[in-house]
Amino acid sequence: MALLAGIAATKSRSATPTRMQSALQIIQTQIDNGTLHSAVLHVRRGDRVTQHVFGKAEPDSMFLLGSITKPLAVALPVMILVDRGELKLSDHAVKYLPEFNESARKDITIEQLLTHTSGLPDQLENNNELRSRHAPLSAFVKGAMRTPLLFAPGAQYHYQSMGILLAAEIVERVTKTALPDFLQQHVFTPLGMTRSVLGLGQFKKSDMVPMQTEHAAPEAGGGDPKAREWDWNSDYWRNLGAPWGGAHSSAADVAMFLRLFLHPEGTVLREDAARLMIRDHTPTLSAHRGIGFMVGPVGLGKGCSARAFGHSGSTGTLAWADPATDTSFVLLTSLPKNVSGELILYPVSDAVSSQA
């Protein structure tokens, strides 16, 4: 009876399949005990779509995506330019960022920026100081141009938001267009993603699901009340449109993005370019990465195949798709991943992927 009551409370858009019940109960339990405030789960297998809404969320609620922003808002625009012949993944970044030329920096390729193999760090040493003074993105770009490399380009894998930032800068310089505008014109509108934006754009902060920032990641203030003017809920961060973590979207919109790679139709990318994004580009390194995506089951779902691709976000989000089962999975929550990861995101993903 408790399970049925919990499922009813999710405001499901369709009947609950048996294979989803344990996943739904995991989420509903955390809603019931007050740990989780809002979540939307969207799963599609073939033509069958189920969406379940929890807590304070609504079906079209927009969540802060965190690092799902990387493949959506940066890797995809880069590949659109590759598809047009306007740049190559093998191009050196310095070709488009001439000031990025000191020592080994001149050897870094665009592909390395997108596969986390450039040697750049994840965050700048003065990240918190920049955010606390509400620095513009240009200040982060300048810092990323100068920050010391951790290793020779291509030698290792090291997750690096600053590499993604420089890839975004390349898109803006090549197109002479602000990245949020490029996304609206060439990604969101063609795909019908009406509830997606980098930064806030035409939306208001009140349109977005609030984050439970008391559990925020260290680079977002770590829950310190003194960071409220620059944490994930601040006007500053919601408007900044950080290419490594500042996009907002609904679960259904993220699913549309994933389907672009399961069934490429040429709307945004030609099939060859779409396939290239989800291929393993780092087979000999410690993590398997596509262009902007994680690839393979590790970090996505225990039941996923080696062909699966996706990404998670420190804001409490996880999205993946698996061509082997024609399944897409999107779970957006308001609870940061350092709590929701082991408690909600991965158990739910494992349950869904193992039964797909």
Asked whether residue 82 carries a pLDDT value surpassing 50, the answer given is yes
Mean pLDDT of 193-213: 97
Contact status, residue 313 vs residue 245, Cβ threshold 8 Å: yes
CATH superfamily of 63-354: DD-peptidase/beta-lactamase superfamily (3.40.710.10)
Q: Which of 18-32, 124-138, 175-189, 299-313 is the least confident region?
A: 18-32
pLDDT for the residue numbered 73 = 98
Using alpha carbons only, give the angle 220, 223, 227 rounded to the nearest 5 degrees.
60
Contact status, residue 107 vs residue 120, Cβ threshold 8 Å: no
pLDDT for the residue numbered 254 = 98
Q: What is the pTM of this model?
A: 0.94
pLDDT for the residue numbered 20 = 82
Of the pLDDT bands very low, low, confident and very high (cuts 50, 70, 90), residue 266 is: confident
> Is residue 208 classed as helix, strand or coil in its secondary structure?
strand
Structure token pair of residue 33: 């005990």
pLDDT for the residue numbered 343 = 98
Of the pLDDT bands very low, low, confident and very high (cuts 50, 70, 90), residue 284 is: very high
The residue among 9 and 342 whose pLDDT is bigger is: 342
DSSP assignments along 117-170, one per residue? -SS--SS-TTHHHHHHTT--HHHHHHHHHHSPPSS-TTS-----HHHHHHHHHH
Question: 286-316: buried (b, 16+ CB within 10 Å) or exposed (e) per residue?
Answer: ebbbbbbbbbbbebbbebbbebbbbbbbbbb
CA 295 to chain CA mean position, Å:
14
Mean pLDDT of 167-185: 98
Asked whether residue 15 carries a pLDDT value surpassing 50, the answer given is no
Per residue in 36-78, pLDDT tens?
A: 999 999 999 999 999 999 999 999 999 999 999 999 999 999 9
C-alpha to C-alpha distance for 269 and 16, rounded to whole angstroms: 34
Mean pLDDT of 305-317: 98
Asked whether residue 90 carries a pLDDT value surpassing 60, the answer given is yes
